[in-house]
Amino acid sequence: MSQKPREQASSVLIVGSMAFDDLELPSANEKDVVGGSATYAAFSAALFAPVQIVAVVGADFPSATLDELHGRGVDVAGVERAAGKTFRWAGRYAANLASRATLDTQLNVFADFRPKLPAAYANTPFVLLGNIHPALQLEVLAQVKKPRLVAADTMNFWIEGERKTLGEVLSKIDLLIINDEELRQLAEDHNVKRAAKRVLGMGPKRLVVKRGECGAMLFDDHGVFFAPAYPLETEIDPTGAGDTFAGALLGYLANVGELDAATLRRALMMAGCVASFCVEDVGTRRTSKLSQQQVATRLEELAKLVQIG
């Protein structure tokens, strides 16, 4: 099945963080960058499908970002504006951008957030539980009715601190999307293949492992599939590349409307393609303005990387 115009695609419901990020990048220090797992994933999924966001922001969050999301086809009716400060995260990247340290996480309005899905979101067929407290991911799951696919992302912060609740999330989802470091941590095994097997045993039917500039792997009933990353000449800011990847993956699947092996593999290529744009500028500067044509052109180049003969 091929792609259709986004208006004709099934919708994607995204729950996650909306944030201010303070980033120490090799090129510059960037303060108050609008980020968050839901923000990145929404801009990316909206390239392929109508998107609904469930999140919370504080009084200080820019309305311009919500307007920008709306302008890209994202329904922001599920974004609650609470009294207080928006979630804040600070990170420092290594000179080669390959690793980063979290310097600070301030939950702020997330500390008291209880997601309430607008009635219209309960039947959304594709659900992305973006990186957020696993208890909140569960609360969202409790409010949706029989989605076709539930995918979830998480991070070291929750694997370390909320393993039990995260385990409950894993038992209820179809697809887990994590990076290789998180996979090793979750499985307590450094070998990716063994670790993937172990994590699949925790519940999800499919597992996607993001490996940064080394691409991504899909583990499911059909075995293992590998998609390369697009080799970039300009790498500025990898923040949100994982969320952008997850958003594109779900958006593409919602667009095509099939969950067969070939569609999932194509979705993995597409996700890597869109995520590569994220790294080329700070925050969502690049992905919020991306055109279908730019994505299609890069996807062709990406596919050529693994074409033999």
Instruction: List interacting residues with ligand AMP (CB under 6 A).
Output: 17, 19, 21, 35-37, 89, 105, 131-132, 155, 157, 239-243
In the complex, least distance from residue 153 CB atom to ligand AMP, rounded to whole angstroms: 8
Amino acid symbol at 178: I
Q: 106 in helix, strand or coil?
A: strand
- Residue number of the CB closest to ligand AMP reads 35
In the complex, least distance from residue 37 CB atom to ligand AMP, rounded to whole angstroms: 5
CB-nearer residue toward ligand AMP: 35 or 204: 35
In the complex, least distance from residue 75 CB atom to ligand AMP, rounded to whole angstroms: 21
CB-nearer residue toward ligand AMP: 107 or 303: 107
Alpha helices per DSSP H over the chain: 37-45, 63-71, 134-141, 156-161, 163-170, 180-187, 192-200, 241-256, 261-279, 292-305
Amino acid symbol at 104: D
CB-nearer residue toward ligand AMP: 19 or 66: 19
In the complex, least distance from residue 183 CB atom to ligand AMP, rounded to whole angstroms: 14
CB-nearer residue toward ligand AMP: 60 or 300: 60
In the complex, least distance from residue 132 CB atom to ligand AMP, rounded to whole angstroms: 5
CB-nearer residue toward ligand AMP: 52 or 131: 131
Sheet strands side by side (includes 100-106): 29-35, 19-24, 87-93, 100-106
CB-nearer residue toward ligand AMP: 105 or 165: 105
In the complex, least distance from residue 241 CB atom to ligand AMP, rounded to whole angstroms: 6
Expressed in angstroms, the distance from the first to the final Cα of the chain is: 25
Q: 80 in helix, strand or coil?
A: strand
Cβ contacts of 134-140, under 8 Å, gap ≥ 24:
134/158, 134/162, 134/165, 134/166, 134/168, 134/169, 135/162, 135/165, 136/15, 136/110, 137/15, 137/169, 138/165, 138/168, 138/169, 138/172, 139/114, 139/115, 140/13, 140/15, 140/54, 140/115
Q: How far is CA 48 from CA 54, 222, 256, 274, in A?
A: 19, 25, 9, 11
In the complex, least distance from residue 41 CB atom to ligand AMP, rounded to whole angstroms: 9
Query: Distance between CA atoms of 84 and 60, rounded to whole angstroms?
Result: 8
In the complex, least distance from residue 89 CB atom to ligand AMP, rounded to whole angstroms: 4
Position of tokens 């050529």?
304
Query: Distance between CA atoms of 209 and 215, rounded to whole angstroms?
Result: 9
CB-nearer residue toward ligand AMP: 187 or 241: 241
CB-nearer residue toward ligand AMP: 19 or 218: 19
